Structure 1
Amino acid sequence: MRKTLLLLVPVLLLGACTWGITLNDAGKQVRTAWNGDVSQCRDLGKVTVSVMERVGPVDRNDIKVRDELEVMARNEAAKMGADTVKPLAEPVDGEQAWGAYQCGSARPASTSRPTTQPAPAASGGVQTYPISGG
């Protein structure tokens, strides 16, 4: 029983790192300009946010850290009256600077994270058919 408890404590502590970092209602109205084009927007300033990148000797998941930084930046930018944020640099040691902008109707066209598109299938390629269970 004691060994089980000793093994569970670090797991619970690592999981506790993300509790409380949630996108609030105002932050939900703030877009992220991943394409970087905010030329039609009014610059409201800079937001610097930070989260724990390490818990003791354990590095946290980089994607989780980046997601939390974005959430915090959107929440903070909303307090400034911004409707768009743009990362100004890559995260370093769990800290990242973001630009806060008011774009209004001139919001950047691409506000979703960049993704890689799958290559289109070559013409005359393979077709797939659904398998019906019986």
Structure 2
Amino acid sequence: MRVLLLSVLIASTAACTWVPIESGGKTVRVLPNGPVAPGCVAKGEIVVSVKNKVAFYNRNPLRVQEELETLARNEAPSAGANAVQATGQPADGSQRFSAWQCPPR
């Protein structure tokens, strides 16, 4: 019974998104890797982290990456930025992003 309950709990947390997008984060763009568009001004760096493991279970790496991106988008307005760009790959549930203020598209 305990094994079944634990299995259900792990399966349900694998599909969960624990990080909701905030209203300010909805307007923040995620820039692709590579050169930043002309006219964008660097506003600093954002470092975010989420749980990448639950007990002995490793969470889906794609889900972790989505949540890290969402957290970075949520933080960008407080840095005066309207765009973020990953500066590296996620590692141990943490990721760095550069924050940018870019002209409207």
One fold, TM greater than 0.5? yes
Instruction: Identify the structure with the greater strand proportion.
Output: 2
Q: Of the two, which has the highest radius of gyration? A: 1
Alpha-carbon distance, 1:86 to partner: 0.2
| Counterpart-to-counterpart distance in 2, 1:78 and 1:9 | 39
CA RMSD, aligned part only?
Answer: 2.2
Q: Taking structure 1 as the reference length, what is the TM-score of the superposition?
A: 0.67
Where do 1:1-134 residues align within 5 Å?
A: 3=1, 7-9=4-6, 11-12=8-9, 15=13, 18=16, 20-40=18-38, 41-105=40-104
Structure 1 residues 46-85: Cα deviation after superposition (integer angstroms, max 9, x where no partner): 0000011111111110100000000000001122121110
Return 5+ residue gaps in structure 2 as ranges: none
* Larger mean Cα displacement after TM superposition, 77-86 or 11-20: 11-20
Q: Taking structure 2 as the reference length, what is the TM-score of the superposition?
A: 0.84
Contact 1:45/1:100 (<8 A) preserved: yes
| Counterpart-to-counterpart distance in 2, 1:70 and 1:35 | 13
The DSSP-based 3-state class of the residue aligned with 1:37 is: coil
Contact 2:17/2:63 (<8 A) preserved: no
Contact 2:21/2:71 (<8 A) preserved: yes
- The residue type paired with residue 78 of structure 2 is K
Identity %: 39
Q: Which has the higher contact order (CA 8 A, sep 6+)?
A: 2
Contact 1:22/1:71 (<8 A) preserved: yes
The DSSP-based 3-state class of the residue aligned with 2:21 is: coil
How many corresponding residue pairs?
103
Alpha-carbon distance, 1:37 to partner: 2.7
Alpha-carbon distance, 1:36 to partner: 3.0
